[in-house]
Amino acid sequence: MAKLILIRHGQSTWNAANKFTGWVDVPLSSLGREQAMLAAHKLSAYRIDSCFTSLLIRAIETAVICLTERDGVFKDKSPVLKHNADDPQWHGWDCYEGDRTEEIPVFLSAALDERYYGDLQGLNKTLSTETFGIDQVHRWRRSFSVRPPGGESLADTAARTIPYFKDRILTHLQNGDNVLVSAHGNSLRSIVMVLDGLSQQAVCDLELATGIPIIYDVSPAGEITNKTILS
Q: Which residues are catalytic?
A: 9, 114
> How many other C-beta atoms lie within 10 A of the C-beta of residue 85?
11
Buried b (16+ CB within 10 A) or exposed e, 18-54: ebbbbbeebbbbebbbebbbbbbebbeebebbbbbbb
* Strand ranges of the sheet holding 224-229, from the earlier edge strand across to the other edge: 78-82, 103-108, 50-53, 179-183, 2-8, 214-218, 224-229
18's CB contacts (< 8 A; 6+ apart) are 124, 125, 126
Q: Per DSSP, what are the bridge partners of residue 227?
A: 216
Minimal CA–CA distance to 55: which of 116, 110, 111? 110
